[in-house]
Structure 1
Amino acid sequence: MTTMLTWQAEGRPGLEGTRVHFGPDPVGFRALGRIVRPDPAGDFTASYSLVVREDGTLGRLSLSAATTGFEKHLTMNRTDDGFWLLDDGSGSARQDFDGAVDVDLAFSPLFTSLPVRRLGVHRESVAVEVPVVFVSLPDLEVSLSTQRYRTVRAGEGNSPAVVEFSRADLRVELEVDADGFVLSVPGLAALVSNERAEPAGQS
């Protein structure tokens, strides 16, 4: 199955659009997306390509970001022994980021969804604190973040799940669909379009 997801920024212009293609396992997927954010501090655009493994961990990520003043690129690959290989084009680094298996990209509801899907926080009662590799935009600076996810209400039927998400001094309640994708992040963005296509031969 393939789906196109589009989130509209809250309170200001801005979009994130991504194409998600699922593999035979319901957790693993590939995604190609773009974020466009007009911003008082400077407009920017960013694009990403990522591969999520069947166990829900991020395997590979390629990022590009551009403003009027610069263009930057970053690739991240997680090895089988748990290390992250980072390459920004001027050199590479190998780090373990305290065992983090998730990446969070600034301004992106898609990336906020990754631990939710991996841990099943939208399906059953879960309260967990996880290390996450956080990538800022538009400068693509990488740091370690501690993020918390807690099930407020599991999804049921057409009713979305509610998941409390917090890091540092931020605490919000996310609405999450049955597939584990974030529908809304208060103060950031909300899903405005979800177009699905089944493989040929399936209804």
Structure 2
Amino acid sequence: MRLLVAETRLRASGRLIAAADGDVEAFSASFEASVDKGETAGRLLLRTTTAEEERQISLSRTEDGAWLVDRAGASRREEFDGSLTVAVAGAVTFHTLPIRRLGLHRTPGEAELPVVWVNAPDLAVSLVTQSYRTVSIDADGAVIAFTQNGETTELTVDTDGVVVDFPGVAGRV
């Protein structure tokens, strides 16, 4: 994964590889994402590949707050309850966006957010609720409690608010 963090913009690109797990077939995914600092506008391009199929989706948040969802040549405009944030299943990088926007790595706080959720590998798009709460802050970064679907995990972030450890899922090497 490559992450470029600037004062006014965040850009990320990367690849996920997942083994088959229960009902989810093995897949690879690649993504490119960019958002401005306030997350008032942004774009995500995501591709997934399984043994059977390749899929692609593009999500763009317009300056008026709507999301444009483009998949297989069909486009639609969605409000997604005013969500500023997009997240991809299995890609911990996307937790960096709300943590940085809310400054939870610098000042204790908590928030419950509507999030545009993209499932992988099928690229189904839905609206979910995610919660973030600062647990602790120190010279090396912070610990942030993340909750979705009733399950809470403590994420470790560096001083820039970038997720460096998501227990059982991913960690910075």
What TM-score do you get using the length of structure 2 for normalisation?
Answer: 0.93
Query: Is 2:49 the partner of 1:53?
Result: no
- CA drift at 1:58: 5.2
The equivalent position to 1:153 in structure 2, one of 129, 133, 136, is 136
Which residue does 1:169 correspond to in 2? 150
1:1-203 matched pairs, under 5 angstroms:
18-23=1-6, 25=7, 28-40=9-21, 41-57=24-40, 59-154=42-137, 156-158=138-140, 160-192=141-173
- Deviation by residue 1:141-188 (Cα, 9 ceiling, x = unmatched): 00000110000112x223x31111001121111111111111111222
CA separation in 1, counterparts of 2:41 and 2:19?
Answer: 28
Q: Percent identity?
A: 41
Instruction: Name stretches of at least 5 consecutive residues in structure 1 with no aligned partner.
Output: 1-17, 193-203
Higher RCO (CA 8 Å, separation ≥ 6 residues): 1
- Give distance in 1, aligned partners of 2:40 and 2:20: 31
Give the gaps of 5 or more residues in structure 2. none
> Post-superposition shift, 1:67?
0.2
User: Do 2:41 and 2:62's aligned partners in 1 also have CA atoms closer than 8 Å?
Assistant: no
Question: Is the Cα–Cα contact under 8 Å of residues 31 and 44 in structure 2 kept in the other structure?
Answer: yes
TM-score scaled by length of structure 1: 0.80
User: What CA RMSD, in Å, does the superposition of the two structures yield over aligned residues?
Assistant: 1.4
Aligned length: 171
Verify the 8 A CA contact 2:40 2:62 in the aligned structure 1. Answer: no
Q: 1:102: Cα distance to partner?
A: 0.3
Call closer, same or farther: CA 1:134–1:58 in 2, change over 3 Å. farther
> Considering only CA atoms, is the larger Rg found in Structure 1 or Structure 2?
1
Give me the whole-angstrom Cα distance separating, in 2, the residues matched to 1:152 and 1:64.
34
Question: What secondary structure sits across from 2:172 in the alignment?
Answer: strand
- AA paired with 1:39? A
- Tell me the equivalent position of 1:4: none
Work out the CA distance in 2 between the residues paired with 1:39 and 1:183.
Answer: 25
Amino acid at match of 2:91: S
Distance in 2 (alpha carbons) for counterparts of 1:138 and 1:58: 25
Residue 104 of structure 1 deviates from its aligned partner by: 1.0
